[in-house]
Amino acid sequence: MTAVSRRDFLKSSALSGASLVIAFHVPRRAEALLLASAPKHPLPAPNAFLRIAADNSVTVQLAHSEMGQGIWTTLPMLLAEELECDWASIRVETAPAAPAYFHTGFGMQMTGGSSTTWSEFDRYRTVGAMAREMLLRAAADRWKVDVKHLRVEKGFVVNGQERLSFGALAEAAQALTPPTAVTLKPPSQWTLIGKPVRRLDTPEKVTGRAQFGSDVHFPGLRTAVVARAPVFGAKVKSFDATKARAVPGVETVVQVPSGVAVVASNFWAARLGRDALDVQWDLGPGQDVDTVQLLESFRALATKPGAVALKKGDCDAALTKSKQRLVAEYDVPYLAHAAMEPLNCTVRLEKDRCDIFVGTQFQTGDQTTAAKLTGLPPDKVNIHTTFLGGGFGRRANPTSDFVSEAVSVAKASGVPVKVQWTREDDTQGGYYRPMFLHRVEVGVDAKGFPSAWKHTVVGQSLLAGTPFEAMVKNGIDESSVEGVTDSPYLQALGAKLVTLHSPRNPVPVLWWRSVGNTHTAFAMESMLDELAHAARVDPLAYRVQLLKGQPRHLAVLQLAAEKAGWGKAPPPGTARGLALHASFGSIVAQVAEVSVDEEKHIHVRRVVCAVDCGLAVNPLSLEAQIQSSISFGLGPTLHSALSIKQGRVQESNFADYVVLRLDEMPKVEVHVVPSKAKMGGIGEPATAPINAAVANAVFALTGQRLRSLPLKLV
């Protein structure tokens, strides 16, 4: 079933505060018709995604979360392209958690994997087209003319000199049977898709009106701050809350599975109360985690083959026969997502319903978790998605940690409560991009090109121990080796072996913008650069040679190189480095221009980025996402790392978990390859190659090959 009932729809509208009088709505009986007529690909129910009110406003329901990536604008563009409404009449709401809003590819309601635009490209356009057809038919009935004499124009149906607004037709249109098939406009007729369109959420976001999870407020709401385990996996042994209860404003202190929650009338009181708690912990094995030792253990593991992710030919024999062998190890540390809005979740639990107000990327996962915890059926758990103050993967947790904890606090305290994490809580709370080590051994021929590629990856699986564990097949979590096993450089190579070790430890891990590509791109593109230099071949020419038969990759690489002035002298004191990486269905090449100061600090001056992502639906938004991805990737390139000693995360806030600031932001130039290829994503792919592009530029400038992130010159 892919539709929300009218009652549910109206209910959700009421919850979101809309004053709906007359809605454009497809009656329920039409669903059967839709399903019967097109059993394989039923048309979506337009009422779940759109309503047109008498005032002509067109309200679009978003099946995905807005976390900065711009889908608040892109999805309405798709719908409006077909509906032909006035762009100024668009209003946007986030949909409730319901099956109607499941991801078209992934079967659950979620936002991630750089997938929103491509996965909704057909659905939102189709909804717009269905509504347009029904409005046209309503107008034809009104005027008693053949629908073929009518056309739509900017929110009106036009018949010669006469016109009727969508709002005036909405009520009549909703009584009609929806079309069973619609024809979508050919690209030549698009007026919105492919054009730069400014964001629709700007007015709220430049005035402070935008509601994030942490801004949720209603009468009776309390704030809680939780004392969580000092090492991962620790359990509360006992606690003394005497001092905490004495803090003015503190109302109650409750134990929950993750720790001890102090519930107060406001955040500051809860925070002071939490800091005054005396908690004794049963630390468990988490206290032994030490990232220095862990890396050494990874190094030892990497000399032995792991589970086979890719095997072709006899790699060891080919290595033995090769003219020369190069071996290199690359490592990357644990990383926190550090979204600007520290984690939070608000829960109002009543006898027969639970309302959760949260910036989440995983609506239906969170709903299921909350249903289990409360004993309520999932449809009694209402997820109200707010704006997300950044997501980057942290707000898409299969274990719903920040949601389940808030439900537990609400349950234990008996009051509606917002659990607000401090920055320190957020930094030290786990669910990190895992530490990874790659050992890459390459045999080369007489010209210095690969004849054998042996690659061992070591790092925690993101999926192990989660509800998605079944996706790990034969010991291979694809997210650990993506970017290596499918490398365009290795396609034609006859001898290759990629293996994976996924050692477990108590540190919780999670996807982090661009996921496995964050480390595989660093290893692959650094190694290619090393090979090029060893072969005394220009790094661009070396890659071009290996990319024969990969025309899309080649075009992207050459566009970036050309726009960067590759082969021409860089500005004095700078050097250039190159990297290419494909992920999430898109191909990205970057040329970084770097300099180094007297204190050996690396400065990234300019990044030229070329991309082939198929159709660029909103070029203005695409450019923003590329700038964003590069900025996000440069933090770990230059600064960010988490270290753990005796199980304790050493970094806690932006003073020691250093991210990119404005004065370090390079000039980013974005070039899009016009492409008819299948649409890919754009939120993540440009994060992956930046580490290597910078490391390769640093080598070109200084002769130092840096194989650990963050890059530190000696």
Partner 1 sequence: MKLVVNDKEVDVSAQADMPLLWVLRDLLGLTGTKYGCGIAQCGSCTVHLDGQPVRSCVTPIASVGARKVTTIEGLSADGTHPVQRAWTEVDVVQCGYCQSGQIMAAAALLAKTANPTDADIDEALAGNICRCGTYQRIREAVHRAAALRASR
Q: Which residues bind partner 1 (CB under 8 A)?
A: 66-70, 198-199, 201-212, 214-215, 217, 223, 248, 265-268, 338-342, 387-392, 420, 422-423, 620, 624, 627-632, 653-655, 659-663, 665, 667-668
Query: For partner 1, which is the closer residue by CB, 342 or 459?
Result: 342
CB of 132 to partner 1, least distance (A): 28
CA–CA gap between residue 672 and residue 684 (Å, rounded): 15
Give me 203's structure tokens: 């007015």
The CB-of-456 to partner 1 minimum distance in angstroms stands at 33
Q: Which is nearer to partner 1, 386 or 460 (CB)?
A: 386
Residue 669: CB minimum distance to partner 1, A:
10
- Closest approach, Cβ 629 to partner 1, in A, equals 8
Nearer to partner 1, 8 or 93 (CB): 93
Beta-carbon count within 10 A of 386 CB: 22
- The DSSP annotation for 4-56 comes to --HHHHHHHHHHTT---SS-----THHHHHHHHH-SSSPPP-HHHHEEE-TT-
**Minimum distance between the CB of residue 338 and partner 1, rounded to whole angstroms?**
6
Contact between 633 and 687 under an 8 Å Cβ cutoff? The reply is: yes
Rounded to the nearest 5 percent, the helix, strand and coil shares of the chain are 35, 25, 40
Q: Which residue, 598 or 663, has its beta carbon nearer to partner 1?
A: 663
Residue number, 198 or 235, with CB nearest to partner 1: 198
* Nearer to partner 1 among residue 234 and residue 579 (C-beta): 579
Closest approach of partner 1 to the CB of residue 654, in Å: 4
Sign of the Cα torsion 192, 194, 196, 201 reads positive
H/E element, 667:
strand 667-672
The distance from CA 688 to its chain's CA centroid, rounded to whole angstroms, is 13
CB nearer to partner 1: pick between 143 and 212: 212
Q: What does the DSSP assignment read for 582-649?
A: EETTEEEEEEEEEEE-TT--EEEEEEEEEEE-SS-S-HHHHHHHHHHHHHHHHHHHHT--B-EETTEE
- Distance from C-alpha of 75 to C-alpha of 123, rounded to nearest angstrom: 10
**Which one-letter DSSP state was computed for residue 183?**
-
Q: How far is the CB of 663 from partner 1 (least distance, A)?
A: 4
Per-residue tokens: 460: 């925690």
Shorter beta-carbon distance to partner 1: residue 140 or 659: 659
Cβ 67 to partner 1 shortest distance, Å: 6
Please work out, in degrees rounded to the nearest 5, the angle formed at the alpha carbon of residue 202 by the alpha carbons of 199 and 205: 145
Q: How many CB atoms lie within 10 A of CB 57?
A: 18
- Least distance to partner 1 from the beta carbon of 245, Å? 16
Amino acid at the residue 299: R
- How many whole angstroms separate alpha carbon 259 and alpha carbon 227? 6
Closest CB to partner 1 among 173 and 226? 226
Q: How far is the CB of 292 from partner 1 (least distance, A)?
A: 26
Nearer to partner 1, 49 or 584 (CB): 584
Query: CA-to-CA distance for 569 and 82, rounded, in angstroms?
Result: 49
Quote the CA–CA distance of 159 and 281 in Å, as a whole number: 75
Beta bridge partners of 349: 354
Tell the smallest beta-carbon distance from residue 698 to partner 1 (Å): 21
Q: What are the strands, taking DSSP E only, across 523-601?
A: 575-583, 586-596
In angstroms, the CA 575 to CA 100 distance is 52
* CA atoms of 704 and 538, how far apart (whole Å): 17
Residue 34 CB, nearest distance to partner 1 (Å)?
36
**Minimum CB separation from partner 1 for residue 425, in Å?**
10
Q: At closest approach, how far in Å is the CB of 37 from partner 1?
A: 41
146 secondary structure, DSSP code: -
CA dihedral 80, 81, 82, 88 (to 10 degrees): 30
Whose Cβ is closer to partner 1: residue 203's or residue 494's? Answer: 203
Of 215 and 530, the one with the shorter C-beta distance to partner 1 is: 215
What is the H or E stretch that residue 315 is in? helix 315-321
Whether the Cβ atoms of residue 3 and residue 31 lie closer than 8 Å to each other:
yes
Distance of closest approach, residue 244 Cβ to partner 1, in angstroms: 15
- Helices and strands (DSSP H and E) totals, the chain: 20, 26
Minimum CB–partner distance for residue 50 and partner 1 (Å): 24
Of 460 and 514, nearer to partner 1 (C-beta) is 514
Phi and psi based region of residue 604 (left: phi greater than 0; alpha: psi -120 to 50; beta: remaining): beta
Residue 525 near residue 583, CB atoms below 8 Å: no
Backbone angles phi, psi at 248, to 5 degrees: -60, 130
**Strand residue runs (E) in 63-174:** 90-94, 151-153, 156-159, 162-165
Q: Residue 301 or residue 626: which is nearer to partner 1 going by CB? A: 626
Q: What is the DSSP string of 435-497?
A: PEEEEEEEEE-TTS-EEEEEEEEEE--SSTTSTTGGG-BTTB-HHHHTTTTT-GGGTT-S-EE
What is the spatial distance between Cα 660 and Cα 656, in angstroms, rounded to a whole number? 12
Q: Distance (Å, rounded) from C-alpha 488 to C-alpha 483?
A: 9
CA 223 from centre of chain: 28
Instruction: Provide, rounded to whole angstroms, the least separation between the CB of residue 427 and partner 1.
Output: 10
